[in-house]
A and B are shown apart, each in its own frame.
Chain A
Amino acid sequence: MLSIKDLYVSVEGMEILKGINLEVKPGEVHAIMGPNGSGKSTLANVLAGKEEYEVTSGSVLFDGEDLLDKAPEDRAKDGLFLSFQYPVEIPGVPMVNFLKSAVNEHRKHKGEKELTAGEFLKLMREKMDMVDMHPNLTNRSVNEGFSGGEKKKNEIFQMALLEPRLAILDETDSGLDIDALKTVANGVNALRSPERSAIVVTHYQRLLDYIVPDFVHILYKGKIVKTAGKELALELEEKGYDWIKTEN
């Protein structure tokens, strides 16, 4: 599904990713862990198409097509979803308009009929229950005045609406209390299927108790330095990152 080959990425002239290789097959969940500044968020943002990141070499294929050539909106419509680490507040853009536009853009892309306002509201209510989001929140502007936890839930809510085939969760667990963490994890798990995959970027093993990964990768200084099964997360929790740092 996703194939990253020898990816080098710079931001403002500074090299952040230094040769990433990653293969994500349908149905797999990959966790990416690593200390601060190792390049985890950069990887997530590059995949979503953020412009200030410059790919200096390497390639990324999504369903066999060159991902890096595509505009962010086209990547999204092809089924890639980034749950933002810091969701942006957009005053004046109503949540409902935003979500309806997003859903209908996806539907148009798939050759499906656009949803009417009524159909959309029904779908929205259904997905809101799933992530336990307060109905009042959709009356607001995008993320405006949302608490940290509400913002993260809102990301998962959008993911539930758009049903991506590859979800990238960029530290979706940070700032969440344990109940919210479970809700978020349930939202993600509800979408798991043999066709859908996820990349979960996190600092902590805690989230992985709920979203059980098939692979855990450790990203350090722009490179994946270790890959193993879910037990690697537990090992990290126990030993910290120091042993990785000394080994590399």
Chain B
Amino acid sequence: MSVTIEKVDLSLKYTAYYKQVKEELFEGSSDILNDQRNKAFQSFVMQGIPTRKNEDYKYTNLHPSFAPEFAFVHSRTDEEANLQEIFRCDVPQLDTTLAFVYNGWFSKKSSAIDRLPEGVILDSLENISKERPELLSKYASLANPDEDPMVAMNTAFAKDGFFLFVPKGVVLDKAIQIINLMKGSSDLLVTQRNYICVEEGAKLQLLLCDHSENQNNYLSNSVTEVFAGSNAEVEFYALQNQHNKATSIHSVFVEQQRDSRVTTHTASLHGGLIRNNLKFILNGENCEANMYGISFLDKKQHADNFTQVIHAKPHCVSNQVYKNVLDEQSTGAFSGRIHVVRDAQKTNAFQRNNNLLLTDQATMQTKPQLIIDADDVKCSHGATVGQIDEEALFYLRARGIDEDKARLMMMNAFAHEVIQEIKLEPLRERIDELVDKRLRGELARCHECSYGKDC
């Protein structure tokens, strides 16, 4: 019983905190953001920090992550003189337009946004929501606070994040790389809200990298809304590489118009607790949505990928491949929901989740869910949880390859199916390398790292 009380208390702690800092939250924020705040807060009060009784959070207990006494960052702070100094790029061959978000706040001065093609906007959400509110007309239209307490909490607390706009017909020849850097002198809770709009016929490759400096407890609760116009093409890569005391909750919402193609890659290489919500709505005919995910877990790490694809219009294709490699006592979860609405005929929807357990203590939960209201569709799902194929291992060893190396080859092979789908070649090669290092038990951190082996 005491446990329940504690859980209620934890939610109360954050609702009390909201009331306490409310003025600070409203101050300096645009109407667009503030208009949503109170309503979202009410929604958070109703829902609380999710417990395992919440069906969508059945496999992830967020309560321990919210327990520390966190500091918040409610206003823009003086950031480090040059973030590019702190962060040494992890993909050296990758020629990108580099931008920084520091503790949830977009850093204009460290970002190379002046080199973007004309009409492309990459700026702080706070700024744009005040100066160009018309560009944010669909703010919070995808991320409904009533459907997820973490989205509610984000909407109530969010003050900044990045805003990215690619106007009609503009094809970005260079990928945009945004580094989310968390760095504080104490435990930190960061709320980040991002908004991406890729208009008709435009093309974007975006790479998000999550990093945390020093060994504090970090909790990041981010929401990203992505709007892809008709015939737009978006590749969205998320590289999660933090430490074991970091919790990352990232909810990504994508709306696609007709003939658009959106591909997401989520590579979770390191982190204490990772929860990725990825929700697509295919709102025009002939859309293609590809969702790939790979995670590597060890120690007591936990990763939970929760996906949802709503096929709202006919003739669309969605394809999901998620893989997990779980070592030691790590735990993982995958829930994939495909919803084909009544008139979305000729839908092709595929989903696959394969998991490799390397020890007896590692566990994986996998839950496919298909809701099909149309009658002329092709949908499939498959999930496997297994160990390394001993027959294959013996075959490799019988040719003189030692056991460790043979295992490594097999694990790389397992991961490679997902990694090979990465279209940005230098990124693909780099992730291959990081994965190989990760599987060898070395730290797969993509930048110079001062942590000990325990991070």
Q: Are A106 and B398 in contact (CB under 8 A)?
A: no
Out of B395, B397, B400, B402, which one reaches A90, CB within 8 Å? B395
Q: How far is the CB of A246 from chain B (nearest CB, A)?
A: 37
Asked if B414 is at the interface (CB within 8 A of a chain A CB), the reply is yes
Q: Are A98 and B409 in contact (CB under 8 A)?
A: yes
Q: How far is the CB of B323 from chain A (nearest CB, A)?
A: 11
Cα of A88 to Cα of B409 in the assembled complex, Å:
15
Interface string of B220-244 (1 = CB under 8 A from A): 0000000000000000000000000
Interface string of B373-405 (1 = CB under 8 A from A): 000000000000000011110111111111101
Asked if A21 is at the interface (CB within 8 A of a chain B CB), the reply is no
Interface size on B, residues (CB 8 A): 23
Q: Are B402 and A71 in contact (CB under 8 A)?
A: yes
Q: Are A90 and B394 CB-contacts (below 8 A) given A101-B401, A102-B399, A106-B400? A: no
Asked if A93 is at the interface (CB within 8 A of a chain B CB), the reply is yes
Q: Are B409 and A73 in contact (CB under 8 A)?
A: no
Q: Are A101 and B409 CB-contacts (below 8 A) given A51-B394, A88-B395, A90-B395? A: yes
Cα of A182 to Cα of B399 in the assembled complex, Å:
24
Out of B391, B413, B414, which one reaches A88, CB within 8 Å? B391
Contacts of B400 in A (CB 8 A): 73, 76-77, 102, 105-106, 109, 162
Contacts of A81 in B (CB 8 A): 398
Q: How far is the CB of A48 from chain B (nearest CB, A)?
A: 5
Cα of A162 to Cα of B390 in the assembled complex, Å:
22
Q: Are B395 and A84 in contact (CB under 8 A)?
A: yes
Asked if A13 is at the interface (CB within 8 A of a chain B CB), the reply is no
Contacts of A93 in B (CB 8 A): 392, 396, 409-410, 412-413
Contacts of B397 in A (CB 8 A): 49, 71-73, 76
Q: Are A98 and B417 CB-contacts (below 8 A) given A73-B403, A88-B389, A88-B391? A: no
Asked if B416 is at the interface (CB within 8 A of a chain A CB), the reply is yes
Contacts of B394 in A (CB 8 A): 49-51, 72
* Residue of A71, A81, A92, A105 ringed by the most chain B CB atoms within 10 A: A92
Out of B389, B398, B409, which one reaches A97, CB within 8 Å? B409
Enumerate the 10 nearest inter-chain pairs by beta-carbon distance, A residue then B residue, closest first: A92-B413, A76-B400, A102-B399, A72-B397, A105-B400, A93-B413, A88-B395, A90-B392, A73-B397, A77-B400
